[in-house]
A and B are shown apart, each in its own frame.
Chain A
Amino acid sequence: EAGVTQFPSHSVIEKGQTVTLRCDPISGHDNLYWYRRVMGKEIKFLLHFVKESKQDESGMPNNRFLAERTGGTYSTLKVQPAELEDSGVYFCASSQDARRVSPSYEQYFGPGTRLTVT
């Protein structure tokens, strides 16, 4: 079974440019999460999709970040325009529907996308 995949693995962009990160969850996983780790800090939650709907986007830093999950499959996270403080590692995770599987809470993480804004 393929795990969570993320693309690209690294991205270096200049301040003001746009970057789009992609996440492909494990097939059949309804839940998809985005997290971010700024260097030296904790991994912080950004948002949670259930299928194509945003269940919780309380962690999104500001309106320069736009996440989508078309058709409830893969997800993209766009940063436009990028700022220096957006640098960090962006993780995607997926999990099954908690109502169908027990215990179902495990989130499977991808390898992350390292974003550097210069």
Chain B
Amino acid sequence: AQSVTQPDIHITVSEGASLELRCNYSYGATPYLFWYVQSPGQGLQLLLKYFSGDTLVQGIKGFEAEFKRSQSSFNLRKPSVHWSDAAEYFCAVGPYGGATNKLIFGTGTLLAVQP
């Protein structure tokens, strides 16, 4: 069955510190992978996506993610966290095209940023 695991429910980092949010997936075919962020009162915003090609993907707000097929992982990273990065982050996997484009999400990681 298709699934996405985000093992860290809640992470706290200091402003300026580096960040890595973990995501593992279980998917039968080549996945399309996404990271979304939800700030308070906002909808989910797409940070980055991986379809094919270079396994290191650059996104908005200084985020990047690396697809590792051998580990079934798509971890999100940022070298220096800003207080405005405090939000909830969701990893998702989905098929390309086809009859349905539903996304399968992980449970989310809530990021707190300490001054």
A contacts, CB < 8 Å to B: 3-4, 31, 33, 35, 40-45, 48, 55-56, 58-59, 91, 93, 95, 98-99, 103, 105-112
Contact = CB atoms under 8 A, between A and B. Distances in A.
A110 to B, nearest CB: 5
Interface in B78-106: 90, 92, 94, 96-97, 99-106
12 contacts: A42-B105, A42-B108, A45-B103, A56-B102, A95-B101, A103-B51, A105-B49, A105-B94, A105-B96, A106-B46, A108-B46, A109-B45
Given A43-B105, A45-B102, 5 more contacts: A33-B101, A56-B99, A56-B102, A59-B102, A105-B94
Contacts, number: 68
Contact of A48 (B49, B101, B107, B108): B101
B28 interface: no
A111 B90 contact: no
B44 interface: yes
B90 A55 contact: no
Interface stretch (B14-22, B35-43, B60-68): B35-43
A5 to B, nearest CB: 9
Contacts of A55: 99-100
B4 interface: yes
Interface of B: 4, 32, 36, 41-46, 49, 51, 90, 92, 94, 96-97, 99-108
Given A3-B43, A42-B4, A105 B32 contact: yes
Given A31-B101, A48-B100, A106 B49 contact: yes
B62 to A, nearest CB: 19
Contacts of A33: 101-103
A38 to B, nearest CB: 11
A74 to B, nearest CB: 16
The residue in B46, B101, B106 that gathers the most chain A C-beta atoms within 10 A of its C-beta is: B101
